[in-house]
Chain A
């Protein structure tokens, strides 16, 4: 009997840096909703990530990204591991998630072969505080709904959801 494929939704970010923690909050929100998808949060990358990724078939990542002229709380997504490089990667031991994936492959571990990266645009803000800004907080249900739908499509549909940018009005 074939082993059931494991899918992982991983939230990255820093909960003490305001909106930078949006990936962690969204993954918490989605933990009950994404059927068949294991959820985890990782404030910093590092070797612990390697253990999280072992045996995972499909990897979904949510993290914050700095705002562009297109506006705050815009959701973007990309397929493929190269897209992770667009995220503000922090690490300890000098290894970020891309490098951890590379280490896993070098060690011959069963590492995800498919990756979908979600970036939520946030305002550049280096202040130290817990919790999200009011604007981003209001957008959370909509963002969670959209990400949930996209993950469901990615797992269950034969259609390629591609690389997209989703502005506020088209997220409904």
Chain B
């Protein structure tokens, strides 16, 4: 028997276009797997030579999925470049929009992108493993509620920054639009609805998914467990933070290995490339690039909901803390190695964001009129960092004395995660695929290993082209023996 290769192309239920190549050896076992990002990244190059303040108009167009996170990272980086701090109300309004975007993103992923993996029988027909299948399982009312929560949160971003899809209208040192006491009412209604619906989603997850035989089996299967470092923002009390704080890294045993200010990231993180993908791989500088090597000595780290809960000692809001306690009881130890726990972690993150949003809306700073501070003498470098929906996002700008960009570096969550994703996908493929004709549901299991990271290939590479993912099988001579398009 000759070595063979399987290609999953296009990948499904993620943002962007990529493919998975699966190489089989002469016995039909998986010998290697490549999770490829096929699109070209360009923003860091074509932004050079532009006035730095233009970044607030450019970076929300990196991606239609998490433009608000890019906008806020840019705003914070530009505050540093122009040596200015936003007034409390302006900072609160930025956070408010950011939280709204994070909540709707997390819920959309949970119900509609991950939902088919969670709520449908894994052997359901491919034609059912999509949003329609989820609506059929959970009912029309739940589907409508997901869309309603999304609409109302996007309304907040639109109200504050003109557009939900690509926010605009801010500048270094503040925002251009405030809110009134009249606005407080509808904002409060949205915040309360968020909390109610996320708590419902958590209950749904615990009762219907977590306790199901199918999910339990996969959750604790060795194929879906991995040792990585975890990276996330934490507040002064080491609790989960989304918008401010220090970057904390814990190793596979849960020991804190690094803690630093976002502006110091270059001392701790580095990026590498591989010839078979456009995505850049982030890794821990102290350990050094070792390629796609997992295990306890790995230089690879993960970010996003699972990493946040691995890094934080607790949640920063009461209801999220209660849910976090249940989560810890379930897994017994930290860090959690079961990558599919990321679905639960995502909802806990959303709950903290919703509680924080409610607090922001209740406070007196919401309707303040002091929306902007004037820039000081330029510092010529600034780093902005937020916990974007998919993980920690860094924007790093350098300018000349005229404020013209001379260097731009973006590390987006999918870059942090691309190494762990490659390893997770390979591990799942080695566990579930034998031979070149695996059942569709087994291929979907392999896909579920990356889907829990919620990768955004558009963000990681800034794509032009058709979104999706393919799987291709190759034999040992390099001949394609099967392609599965989604």
Does B13 touch A at the CB level, under 8 Å? yes
Does B353 touch A at the CB level, under 8 Å? no
Q: Is the beta-carbon distance between A107 and B135 smaller than 8 angstroms?
A: yes
Q: Is the beta-carbon distance between A95 and B131 smaller than 8 angstroms?
A: yes
Does B112 touch A at the CB level, under 8 Å? yes
Does B132 touch A at the CB level, under 8 Å? yes
Q: Is the beta-carbon distance between A48 and B165 smaller than 8 angstroms?
A: yes
Does B207 touch A at the CB level, under 8 Å? no
Query: Which parts of A18-56 form the interface with B (CB within 8 Å)?
Result: 44, 46-48, 50-51
Does B481 touch A at the CB level, under 8 Å? no
Q: What is the size, in residues, of chain A's interface with B at 8 Å between Cβ atoms? A: 21
Which of B113, B154, B458, B464 gathers most chain A CB within 10 Å?
B464
Take A94-B12, A107-B147 as given contacts and tell me if A44 and B464 are in contact as well, using a CB distance cutoff of 8 Å: no
Q: Is the beta-carbon distance between B135 and A92 smaller than 8 angstroms?
A: no
Q: How far is the CB of B455 from chain A (nearest CB, A)?
A: 13
Q: Is the beta-carbon distance between A47 and B466 smaller than 8 angstroms?
A: no
Bound state CA distance, A106 and B131, in angstroms? 10
Main secondary structure of the interface of A (DSSP, over half): loop
Chain B residues with CB under 8 Å of A137's CB are none
Chain A residues with CB under 8 Å of B458's CB are 92
- Tell me the nearest residue of chain A to B130, going by C-beta: A94
Tell me the A residues contacting B by CB distance below 8 Å.
Answer: 16-17, 44, 46-48, 50-51, 90-95, 102-103, 106-109, 128
Chain A residues with CB under 8 Å of B140's CB are 106-108
Q: Is the beta-carbon distance between A94 and B13 smaller than 8 angstroms?
A: yes
Chain A residues with CB under 8 Å of B150's CB are 47
Bound state CA distance, A48 and B130, in angstroms? 18
Query: Which parts of B100-134 form the interface with A (CB within 8 Å)?
Result: 108, 112-113, 130-132
Does B340 touch A at the CB level, under 8 Å? no
Bound state CA distance, A102 and B150, in angstroms? 18
Can you name 19 A-B pairs with beta carbons within 8 Å?
A17-B464, A48-B154, A90-B466, A90-B467, A91-B467, A92-B458, A93-B108, A93-B112, A94-B12, A94-B14, A94-B130, A94-B467, A103-B132, A103-B135, A106-B143, A107-B143, A107-B147, A108-B144, A128-B464
Q: What is the size, in residues, of chain B's interface with A at 8 Å between Cβ atoms? A: 27
- Tell me the nearest residue of chain B to A50, going by C-beta: B147
Q: How far is the CB of A75 from chain B (nearest CB, A)?
A: 25
Q: Is the beta-carbon distance between B12 and A106 smaller than 8 angstroms?
A: no
Chain A residues with CB under 8 Å of B131's CB are 95, 103
Does B468 touch A at the CB level, under 8 Å? yes
Chain B residues with CB under 8 Å of A16's CB are 464
Q: Known pairs A93-B13, A103-B132; list 5 more (Cβ under 8 Å).
A: A90-B466, A92-B15, A92-B467, A94-B13, A106-B132
- Tell me the nearest residue of chain A to B155, going by C-beta: A51
Q: Is the beta-carbon distance between B132 and A102 smaller than 8 angstroms?
A: yes
Chain B residues with CB under 8 Å of A17's CB are 464
Q: Is the beta-carbon distance between A51 and B143 smaller than 8 angstroms?
A: no
Chain B residues with CB under 8 Å of A51's CB are 151
Which of A93, A95, A102 gathers most chain B CB within 10 Å?
A93
